[in-house]
């Protein structure tokens, strides 16, 4: 008679949850979400953070990522949550993790978790697009875009080519000759700055999409009456 498979070991629940704001700068913006996940787990081990683990046959550290930026975009406001097996001082965790991460990845803040889920607190993003060394005239394309109720664009997803509205989630857009700022509400699918730029070529065919753009998420948080609130405030 074949031996019965033993049930997986049950892990203790976390005794503390911490919410982490981190930044991706410089060449680190080209790291994928998976690349960052591996780097962060290595940093946790190097820093000696007492992580809680999931139950099951393959326990893994309790890390919950929230709305990561696309590969190639820099960001000042990425967020995740970790579950710990022991209570730790958030500032000491921040310093230890920041020292353990590779260049270009920076731990900005660590706070106690609680209240509404982190994902529910991230309902909008402020993005900035720049094109170093050039000037672009976006006044007319942007006016045409903002005057529409809907502008459909296409993007290749893991499920194939998908068409969606790039106009509805854009709450505000401001352009100067050297930059474009966009406040975008998070919807499904998430509208990104490159989707908006593509939409500008739809409404203004005479305008061509430039190359060498730099995309940076300046802030991410809870949208309240068209303004972003700090997602870690009173967390």
- Identify the H or E element spanning 144: helix 139-146
Domains in the chain, ordered, with CATH?
A: 16-120 (3.30.70.580), 133-211 (no CATH)
Mean pLDDT of 58-64: 90
59 pLDDT tier (thresholds 50, 70, 90): confident
Whether the predicted pLDDT of 55 surpasses 70: yes
φ, ψ for residue 93, nearest 5 deg = -65, -40
Whether the predicted pLDDT of 1 surpasses 60: no
Cα–Cα separations (whole angstroms), residue 234 to 81, 110, 111, 231: 15, 13, 9, 8
Whether the predicted pLDDT of 52 surpasses 60: yes
Q: CA geometry: angle at 220 spanning 74 and 70, to 5°?
A: 40
pLDDT at 5: 62
How far is 198 from 195, CA to CA, in rounded Å?
5
Q: Cβ neighbours of residue 8 under 8 Å, at least 6 residues apart?
A: 55, 56, 57
Helix (H, G, I), strand (E, B) or coil at 90: helix
Helix (H, G, I), strand (E, B) or coil at 125: strand
Alpha-carbon torsion (111, 112, 116, 119), positive or negative: positive
| C-beta separation of 20 from 90 below 8 A | no
Cα–Cα separations (whole angstroms), residue 183 to 174, 192, 209, 212, 226: 9, 10, 20, 22, 9
| C-beta separation of 80 from 68 below 8 A | no
Give me Rg for the CA atoms of the chain. Answer: 21
Question: pLDDT over 90 for what percent of the chain?
Answer: 78
If one compares 234 and 193, the residue with the highest pLDDT of the two is 193
Mean pLDDT of 164-171: 98
Q: Which residues share a beta bridge with 76?
A: none
How far is 112 from 131, CA to CA, in rounded Å?
38
pLDDT tens-digit series, residues 108-161: 999 999 878 999 999 999 999 999 888 888 999 999 999 999 999 999 888 889
Q: What is the rounded end-to-end Cα distance, in angstroms, of the chain?
A: 54
Whether the predicted pLDDT of 235 surpasses 90: no
Whether the predicted pLDDT of 187 surpasses 60: yes
Helix (H, G, I), strand (E, B) or coil at 46: helix
Beta strands 214-224 and 74-84: pairing type?
parallel
pLDDT at 112: 95
Mean pLDDT of 29-40: 94
pLDDT at 150: 98
């Amino acid at each position: 008679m074949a031996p019965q498979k033993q049930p997986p070991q049950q892990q203790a629940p976390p005794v503390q949850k911490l919410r982490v704001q981190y930044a991706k700068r410089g060449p680190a913006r080209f790291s994928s979400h998976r690349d960052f996940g591996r780097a962060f787990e290595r940093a946790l081990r190097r820093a000696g953070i007492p992580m809680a683990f999931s139950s099951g046959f393959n326990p893994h550290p309790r890390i919950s990522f929230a709305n990561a930026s696309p590969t190639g975009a820099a960001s000042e406001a990425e967020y995740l949550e970790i579950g710990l097996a022991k209570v730790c001082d958030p500032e000491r965790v921040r310093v230890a993790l920041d020292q353990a991460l590779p260049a270009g990845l920076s731990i900005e803040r660590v706070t106690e978790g609680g209240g509404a889920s982190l994902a529910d607190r991230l309902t909008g993003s402020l993005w900035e697009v720049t094109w170093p060394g050039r000037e672009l005239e976006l006044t007319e394309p942007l006016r045409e875009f903002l005057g529409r109720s809907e502008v459909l664009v296409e993007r290749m997803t893991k499920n194939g080519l998908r068409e969606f509205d790039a106009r509805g989630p854009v709450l505000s857009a401001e352009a100067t000759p050297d930059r474009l700022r966009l406040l975008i509400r998070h919807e499904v699918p998430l509208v990104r700055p490159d989707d908006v730029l593509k939409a500008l070529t739809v409404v203004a065919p005479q305008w061509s999409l430039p190359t060498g753009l730099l995309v940076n998420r300046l802030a991410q948080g809870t949208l309240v009456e068209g303004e972003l609130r700090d997602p870690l405030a009173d967390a």
